[in-house]
Structure 1
Amino acid sequence: MLISGRAVITTAVLLVVALATGVAAPPAQGRGRQHRDVHPSLRPDLVAFYDFDHPVRGTPARERDQGRSGTTIDLFGGGAAMRVPDRAYPGSGRALQTRQVNPTEAGNDDWKAGLYSPTGVSSLRAFNAAAGMTVMGWVKMTGENPRPNSNTANPDDRFNAIGLAGVLTGDSDGHAVRALLELIDVNGELRLVALGRRLDGGNSQTYAASADWRTLLPVGEWVFLAATFDFTNGSLALYRNGDPIDGFYTRADDPWLVAGPGEHRTTATDPRGIKIGGSFPQGTREQNPCECRLDSLMFLDAVVPARDVGRQYRYVTGRR
């Protein structure tokens, strides 16, 4: 393809101006800006998007990002076999199957997805010093949850959480998160939650759904979930099929330390990765596996308003 001299000069001028003024050059236009399954209102903030229909050529155990970041993730345990023909909504293709393989063995063979870097993932820099984040996508429970705890000798012991999807902190060991959708034990009862952490090494805050999780996520039914994290004021929210979910905060104090003056954002570190269907995406430990399928997982660097969560649900289901 031929490039005109005027285009080259214009690009060079833009770069010089950016360097001289300290203003970043315009971001690349990622696939998420045109993706047919993403509502136009969400596309500008879509950092990463996985529909599990785009394996890396020649490496089918990896999945290409359809958002603007280009962050490729790995499919651990089952590789390409984890992509299954199951439509979360009309027009979708394959889904990701996650599962526990050997409940009685302390191993690393559970099926999950994600990526991990101990030095941080630079392509996820949009979540560095973030004012807000959103995690959303489709979930279908395909079996018994929570799963047996393979890290203890007690055959009756079960994990106290079910991992869905989240972004790791900048100091994470593969478990600690900046923003996460999951199910976890809250005061002795498993609940669907949005769990977030503003500061690396700091305390987390949790917003838990009041309704029984088995009502919210019946086995065999696709459900569209979303969780928002506003780090400027310490608020979180949950949504199911486009509608807000009634819930409660598990802490009444100020775990994110947002009560004081100044601008409140996450720690200025690149996240160490993404985890999907369980913790430790580097494959070193089995933790909180999910017997489920996931599809069209979206990670955004903004707090998506309630109206746009509803728009996304109606956009792909045809319920306009």
Structure 2
Amino acid sequence: MNRAGRVVVAVAAVLAVTGAAAPVNADPTGPSDVHPSLRGDLVAFYDFDHPVPGDPALERDQGRSGTEIELINGGVAQRVADRAYPGGRKVLQTGQINPGVPGGTDDWKAGIWSASGVRTLRAYNAAAGATTMGWFKRETDGPAAGFNAIGLTGVLTGDSDGHAVRALLELIDVNGTLRLVALGRRLDGGNSQTFAATEDWRTLLPKGEWVHLSATFDFSNGTMALYRNGQPVPGAYTRNDDPWLVDGPGPHVTTATDPRGIKIGGSFPWQGSADRNPCDCRMDALMFLDRSLSSREVANQYRYMIRG
């Protein structure tokens, strides 16, 4: 079992015996980089400036859930000096390590996975909405050989093998063209819906430039949205049917299962796993919230960060 998996099992065992609530951030006011109006909705937040004491290959969660993630394959070396926004310090480096080796298992990525579900992420169990956002710097010219996507970050489903997601930011081939997308799935084992940006992905994510991206997911209404630097990104859904099955009587929420984890910079977030959709990128201030933010709230968060 990987290091992050052992953390999940240990925490679950303690909770089962004591009946205690899931761990929360010690600071009741929330992280200073998060707009005060959003701190109560912040499930998880990673700024890569908070290694776990005694095990720096793990990153502490600054959100309310206390969900530690693992810096996979690179460990401490994945924290590099860069500045995504005023006040930022270290950032996360992800990427493919051996491009010419098919079936590799050594890509730098991050996240957490548990086959029994990650209890600290219970906010996404029967959830009406979600938002994923963060800062990203692209260092690649396209998907790695043999793949059709570049994985950014997302929350897994309750039955995920480490790839399937409830709420995901990604670059993926849509009808032969790489697009920035929000991809969501309301029901475990159900169909996904994709909202794909119209503008060229290289314009939205210029190589070597920090960009703030957000994706919102309203599972009640079956809608999603993308934002770049706090502004809405025009786009379109790739399906015109009802993949989330929200046309009938509600309420419509996600499956009542705990997500199996979070993936960052690629799929299968544990050491020794197969590599898929690696992202040669830098990332910082990854935020996971348990509701679909409004356009005004996304803009407020972006402005809050760039003002330092």
TM-score scaled by structure 1?
0.87
- State the match for 2:140 in structure 1: 143
Q: Identity over the aligned pairs, expressed in percent? A: 69
Change (3 A) 1:141 1:107: same
CA contact (8 A) 2:155 2:168 kept: yes
Instruction: Give the SS at the match of 2:144.
Output: coil
Secondary structure, aligned partner of 1:181? strand
Give the root-mean-square deviation of aligned CA atoms. Answer: 1.8
Note if contact 2:30-2:63 (Cα within 8 Å) is conserved in structure 1.
no
1:46 counterpart (14, 18, 42): 42
1:103 aligned to 2:99? yes
- Could you list the structure 1 runs, at least 4 aligned residues long, displaced by more than 6 angstroms after superposition: 24-27
**Corresponding residue to 1:285 among 274, 278, 282:** 274
Looking at structure 2, the residues matched to 128 and 220 of structure 1 have their Cα atoms a distance apart, in angstroms, of 36
Check conservation: 1:244, 1:306, Cα contact below 8 A. Answer: yes
Q: How far does residue 35 in structure 1 lie from its aligned partner after superposition?
A: 1.2
- Equivalent residue for 1:130, pick from 117, 120, 127: 127
Deviation at residue 28 of structure 1 after TM alignment = 5.2
Q: Work out which of the residue numbers 192, 195, 202 in structure 2 matches 1:214.
A: 202
Residues 256-284 of structure 1: CA distance to partner in whole angstroms, max 9, x if unpaired? 00000121000000000000000000231
* Partner in structure 1 of residue 150 of structure 2: 162
Give the 5 Å matches for 1:1-320: 31=27, 33-105=29-101, 106-149=103-146, 159-283=147-271, 284-318=273-307
Residues 145-192 of structure 1, C-alpha deviation per residue, up to 9 Å, x if partnerless?
21122xxxxxxxxx1000000000000000000000000010010000
Question: CA–CA distance in 1 between the matches of 2:262 and 2:57?
Answer: 16
**CA distance, structure 1, for counterparts of residue 104 and residue 269 of structure 2:** 13
Q: CA deviation at 1:238?
A: 0.2
Is there any run of 5+ residues in structure 1 with no aligned partner, and where?
1-23, 150-158
For 1:122, give the aligned amino acid: R
Partner deviation per Cα, 1:177-216 (whole Å, 9 max, x = no partner): 0000000010010000000000000000000000000000
Cα pair distance change 1:308/1:264, threshold 3 Å = same
What is the rounded CA distance, in whole Å, between the counterparts of 2:231 and 2:48 in structure 1?
25
Higher Cα radius of gyration: 1
Contact between 2:167 and 2:185, CA under 8 Å: does it hold in 1? yes
TM-score calculated relative to the size of structure 2? 0.90
**What amino acid sits opposite 1:313 in the alignment?**
Y
Change (3 A) 1:181 1:232: same
1:128 Cα offset (Å):
0.3
Aligned to 1:5: none
Whether the 8 Å contact between 1:113 and 1:276 is mirrored in structure 2 is yes
What count of residue pairs does the alignment treat as equivalent?
A: 288
Aligned equivalents of 2:60 and 2:22: distance in 1? 22
